[in-house]
A and B are shown apart, each in its own frame.
Chain A
Amino acid sequence: AQKVTQAQTEISVVEKEDVTLDCVYETRDTTYYLFWYKQPPSGELVFLIRRNSFDEQNEISGRYSWNFQKSTSSFNFTITASQVVDSAVYFCALSEAYSGGGADGLTFGKGTHLIIQP
């Protein structure tokens, strides 16, 4: 069975601080996919990144960066120089490989509510 744990329920920082959101996952598959989504107050989940289990290279996109470590089953998300617009609930999600194609649902963590204070 697969599981995603986001231990931080809520984080509050002052604008311009760096903040890291933790994500720990469990899966028995050797091939799987990890995702981060952002859910602003409007409710719509916004896709941020997908990472394949066989690609451990970290990724940076502007102020966002992701640290994937298979040895610790973690896929952490860092926002540098945070802004008020970054305030949202952030979800980490996992999907095991579906060989031969096909669709599979995502297993989500409970989310981390990030509050950026001006």
Chain B
Amino acid sequence: ETGVTQTPRHLVMGMTNKKSLKCEQHLGHNAMYWYKQSAKKPLELMFVYSLEERVENNSVPSRFSPECPNSSHLFLHLHTLQPEDSALYLCASSRVTSGSSYNEQFFGPGTRLTVL
């Protein structure tokens, strides 16, 4: 496997279900991100993990719970979601370095989530 992978690619869940999205990066990066892409809305940053520590939350509802057990894996745990949470959830990774340079983020294919 190369790049950034995400599983599952498609997920349908009821409002009372609990599910998890998984992201894995094979690029040797040390920062990972969750984004949400809804219809008619810009991509929204949800969570950032740098060196396995969460650095940004962006006021995401508590029904979304991230987990980053190591620099290669990122999870998004979902529980009691609402229909408006239906969206494409994208994972990304980048290499964090000291100094002022900024490295581009590489994205996975996303998980298409439908909440019934």
Contacts and interface: CB of A to CB of B under 8 A. Distances in A.
Contact of A102 (B58, B88, B96): B96
B100 A103 contact: no
Given A33-B102, A45-B90, A109-B42, A102 B55 contact: yes
B76 interface: no
A100 B56 contact: no
Main secondary structure on A side of the interface with B: loop
Contact of B48 (A99, A105, A108, A111): A105
- Chain A interface category by residue count: 20 to 34
Contacts of A103: 31, 33, 48-50, 55, 94, 96
A8 to B, nearest CB: 14
B69 interface: no
Contacts of A108: 42-43
Interface of B: 31, 33, 35, 40-43, 45, 48-50, 55-56, 58, 88, 90, 92, 94, 96-102, 104-110, 112
Given A33-B102, A46-B107, 9 more contacts: A42-B109, A47-B106, A47-B107, A50-B102, A50-B104, A99-B100, A102-B55, A103-B50, A103-B96
Interface of A: 4, 31, 33, 35, 37, 42-47, 50, 52, 91, 95, 97-111
